[in-house]
Chain A
Amino acid sequence: MTESATLLILILLTSLGAAPVIFALPERAARLRTAINLTMAAIKVALVGWLALEVGQGARHGLSFAILPGLEFRLQADPLAILFIALSAVLWLITTIYSVGYLERGPHRARFFGFFSLCVGATVGVALAGNLFTFLVFYELLTLATYPLVIHRGTAEALRAGRIYLIYTLAGGLVLLLGTLGLWVLAGTTDFVAGGIMADVAAAQPLAAQALFVVLILALGVKAALVPLHRWLPIAMVAPAPVSALLHAVAVVKAGAFGIIRVVFEVFGIETVRELGLTMPLAALAAVTILYGSVRAMTQDDIKKRLAYSTVSQVSYITLGVALAGPVAAVGALAHLIHQGLMKITMFMAAGNLAEALGVKRVSQMDGAGRALPGTMLAFTLAALAMIGLPPLAGFVSKWYLAQGGLAVGQDWVIPLLLGSSLLNALYFLPMLHRAWFRDAPEAEAPRPRIGWMLAAPPLVTAALVLAAGLMANAPFSPLEWTRFIVELEYRE
């Protein structure tokens, strides 16, 4: 079977290739920089769309060369990869527009957008990685590219947050290196193959296989913010709003969750994980994280921190769905990878607008925000309701499939867990909405704030996507449909 590599290289180049150019541009060449950024982001969306069409028709796109004897650097565009790059390509375009608006006249924009591009490039690499070794390469690149973004403000607080971020993620990366090496030594390959590559090893050396699984989940759990490895995520909130948006919706947290999906389905194979007796512990860990994140979110007054704990909770839905080890739950998990991204990016951009236009950074300051910034708060409200799981929004669809999936494999406890989590979501999101829409702003009303379209439009667009992903869940090429396509492939093996 011949594989075509051109599209993949082009997609990587739109961000990895753009980064050096952007770095090299002088600081004041803002127009040119924005033009390059937006052009590249738009080209990428087009290329990814094309790739998705081809892959949907069964075409094979891949690229590989040997780094060491037997050990390949390998990119491949399977449907799962498409799911993740489609998310990152679309949201990159939107976030780029938002960032241009957000950072207008701010310092170090060349550096910011350079690392921004690298970060998205790394995410694309994570998505396209055809084996765990390649995944590791891009996973580490992602860490390095996001660090300067997290500490972009260059203050003592930002540096402290950056240090914690770096300690967690690089330590996680080191453990992932250990795990990848372990896989290589045990299985003799690190390829992602539907159905997994560890069945034989698990039969012969169950203890080693279990240890390897634990090591890999721990390593990926750092970025996926599984309790107790989540601590960096709320602290990294000092980053500028578009960075937080990207971190939570597309890049870092999702790379961890995506890695868990790959490891469970394509390294071990869901059957092998079940035989090793590891699905339930993983599901339990996810359940604990879901509840813990929600409970912690309730007590946060800082808006971004509340959103961060909400991410801790919501991303673990993905892990939960994977760990439930049934096709229906898997559909829910994968759909949530997309849905959570759309919802969370909306909320972070909205939070950024609140801070920029109104100086509102705390929940207790949100009174009357709805009247001051109606568009932004409308988007925020839509996303929050979707998070809670209100039909027909995107969040409802994934929760529905997770619940069905739990029942299908006889894990009835998932229902109360999801209900409880939704209740907690409601408890920490509804007061925000209440303050924004039904309370009056404090006396000293400033003149009506104005934000440019580059800040106002992006959250509305993503909110519309949240609505669309729910309403048109069964349309062709909707996240849910694509997810079904993937799960069919994974479970056919």
Chain B
Amino acid sequence: MTPDLIYGAAGLAVFGIGLWGAIALQDRMRRLLGLKLCSVGAGFVLIVGAWREPPAAPDPVPHALVITGIVVMLSATAAALALIRRLHDLEAADDRA
């Protein structure tokens, strides 16, 4: 069992859990969190690609990719949160009416 396999498998597992959450759950926030998990899982897999047998230095490219990915995902999350909140407000207004 090499570290890359462990991390790779863990990444896929995390992605899978997130995927299940995003598809199967009803609650808007939980579904979003599921997607966040997916992104972590995908990040894991990329990081594994950077791993090199020591003493070789790890490949820097995947790190750069993952950081970019995190930024992209952050903005996507922000957009989704804004939508959820706006919908929540509208629906709360409906309930009061």
Q: Within the complex, are A and B direct neighbours (CB within 8 Å)? A: no
Give A contacts to B, CB under 8 Å: none
Give B contacts to A, CB under 8 Å: none
